[in-house]
Structure 1
Amino acid sequence: MPWAFCDEVLATDMSNIVGCKEEELAIMNGLTVNLHLLLMSFYRPTEKRHKILIESKAFPSDHYTVESQIRLNGYDPARSIIFVEPRKGEYDIRTEDVLSVIEKEGDGIAVILLGALQYYTGQFFNMPVITKAGHAKGCYVGFDLAHAVGNVELHLHDWDVDFAVWCTYKYLNSGAGSLGGAFLHSKLADTMEPKLVGWWGHKFKSRFDMNNELELSPGISGYRLSNPSIFAACPLRASLDVFCKTSMSELRAKSVVLTGYLEYLVGHYFGKDSPHRKNKEFITILTPSNPEERGAQLSLYFSIPINRIHSEMGKRGIVCDERKPNVIRIAPAPMYCNYLDVWRFIDALLTIMDIAENQPDLDSELD
């Protein structure tokens, strides 16, 4: 039954991308389902330690999962969620501010859950430093890798991360709604067990005996519920085959210079102080300028409404997305983008911005 192993045969190549042992990850479900399953094990609140720390603008799936898990355990999200946020007038969250909150509130925090790479700003959090600080205060530390996997170098095992979840349809290119991934550190394999079990978490050697006597697979494999879709596994297999032709270190090296080139051109042509923007609308980059604090993504904040700008980008073959009211995210993914692609984007954006600035009735012009 080759289909019965369609999830397991992906584990080796995926482990190289997220930096862990093969037995520490499972390909299963979707990101939010996996987050719920893991939080059911990791979030065990007490009156003293019942809080979850997340970023103030966490992705909705993380925010809603945290709220519902807190309510499920009989606590009030208003009392049990701690938000870490940027300082006034800033866009990104300083690492020292995260550490300060952990130091101050850590004795009451059960779980720290951050998006490893913040979806809105593109900020890449200092995962090993935050993990070490959380552990020092007795907290479990987990990360949502949705925008980080396949984008930046990850070393989940060596960084001592307790758990992580991710989807595979962004930088891993497997298609929207495809299979997700989950990580559980091997140090916790014998102490953490799923609160909900399904037959796919049963050890393979006796899974098809159908005797209803559970032999739970160890570690994260025991969290699997149902047999995965072979149709969802195939595109992920194809994507991982391409990733196997290179390495995350090589991709990251290209990404740093490619995104740096994009950052330079955006600032040169659209920065607030650029001579090209004199008395014109401008673009602010929300993403950190330090390459170590970002991936391929730059979040561009426009000083004018973006709905029409985004529409025109689509008509010109530029694949990006809008985050209302004023942000468009651009990501020159190093797997298939090059310097010419970056320049073509800037050239198109010059034309689009000129239209936006010179024609008030942009709706009729662009729609």
Structure 2
Amino acid sequence: MITVVGAGTGTPVAADALAGAELVVGGRRHLDAVRLPDGAERLVLGPLAPALDTIGAYVRAARPVTVLASGDPGFFGIVRALAERFGSGLLDVRPGVPSVAAAFARIGLPWDDAVVVSAHGRELRTAVNVCRAHPKVAVLTGPGAGPAELGAALGPGRILVVASALGDPVRERVERVTPAEAAARDWGTAVSVVVCLDGSRAPGGARTVAGPDARPPAWALDEAEFTHRDSMITKFEVRALALARLGPRLGDLVWDVGAGSGSVAVECARLGAAVVAVEKTADGVERIRANAAAHRVDVRVVHGAAPAALAELDDPDAVFVGGGGAELPAVVAACARRARRTVVVALAAVDRVPAARAALTGAGFSCAGVLLQSARLAPLPGEVTRLAAANPVFLLWGERPRASVEGVAQ
């Protein structure tokens, strides 16, 4: 039997959890905080694979093992690895208070509406994108992915609550800082959780389901749901297929280049992605901001012309390119060089299709596309209906080969 005990965050280790253990495994601070049974071997956790091998030797010999872990070991913790290796039937899990629960308790906020993301041993960019997209996020930190790195990546517009050494009666600290203040400090290794808050989009109301808001009940919204100029907006039929090819999801960063009204940007944000909208006209910038506010999503708007305006942006997972003009091939090529997964291009002019397609294939993408032609039901006098044809639109999409995507993700 392997007894897995959640320690720290103010949770004491019960004596019976250690009684009879012949091997006690855990981080150095957890091991130092308990009295080991006489004769028990002590194993400080480092690389996980050798530790699992040692635990396996004790399990095969039917010798009892106790593993000490932080907080709730079933929440981004060692229970997953132990269950995969030895089976859940061999585990006696005794959870402590999760560090996320402790952090929110310290600042007096509920956390059933928070998104929790781990940056411990993982890419920081996912945590950053989640913090950009959602108003209440808890980030489990790790080396190279702490408050300083998170603050530097986020920029203004958020408040970070840094919870360090949770449960330690002497060293525990809970501090509210701006991203810039977080980026300027050396936080050491005691940080447990960073809570990222966007006060302008505070979640409201009682909850039935924990976690982020559910996916919206509808997408490819009608054009009337957005402010736009002279029908200069990606029509919902086109938007529906574009969203399907972009695949925006939690943790992604999406660019909407030549955003116009920002309808694609807003829809991607509603589906959980972090979004940057690039628009060269000042009135377009204001429309995008108004549409994002109306739909209660956070869209970062960059006022400038692509491709030059893309230079300082973080690399996206997916890109939507709208509009046209002579610079379109250069814009598509610049987006394709940076996109980790896919680029979708909407074009009204048939003349521009070959150059856009060449820009995608030239960047190593596989490329496909369709001509979308639709006719909507429209009323006529006498309570009859006609078909009103919409302007045809070409939609191209390029996808990076899967092996390349997996290589970038590493």
User: TM-score under structure 1 normalisation?
Assistant: 0.29
Q: Which has the larger radius of gyration?
A: 2
**Higher helix proportion (structure 1 or 2):** 1
Q: Which has the higher contact order (CA 8 A, sep 6+)?
A: 1
**Higher strand proportion (structure 1 or 2):** 2
User: TM-score under structure 2 normalisation?
Assistant: 0.26
